[in-house]
Structure 1
């Protein structure tokens, strides 16, 4: 990870409580820590929703990767042809 240290810049907190960090940070999630009454630390972060956290577990990630590898090696086929064959067999056997 590259660490860049820049010179301090002065920002104004607007009437609605917002501060602009620049377009390069638009739509990014950040952690804001108030370390002191007058000191804030702002860091970019990746937030994982609670219902997706299980995917970060090593075994779950390995299982998912195995399933994706299987799906890639075994592409889906056209099931319509198989269903038509099954209908034909049912017609012959049961007389439907």
Structure 2
């Protein structure tokens, strides 16, 4: 899987302690939101970005209704660590 800038940002945000949630309404519509570690309403996340990371096995969730909470898998933690190093190298 290619880590696009959006996928990398989401992985790094989760590694930094932010929380990704998929909020569902009664009709089954799903909206992904990234919530800051200190709380708050969060910001929208492109569904395709979150689903790509889940399909690649980099994030997983508790699959709860109406709001599933996502976390980094071991592979996701490793990918986030590599992404952070690459970001650091790019800034030098």
TM-score by length of 1: 0.28
Q: Which has the higher contact order (CA 8 A, sep 6+)?
A: 2
TM-score by length of 2: 0.29
Kindly name which structure, 1 or 2, has the bigger radius of gyration based on alpha carbons.
1
More strand by share: 2
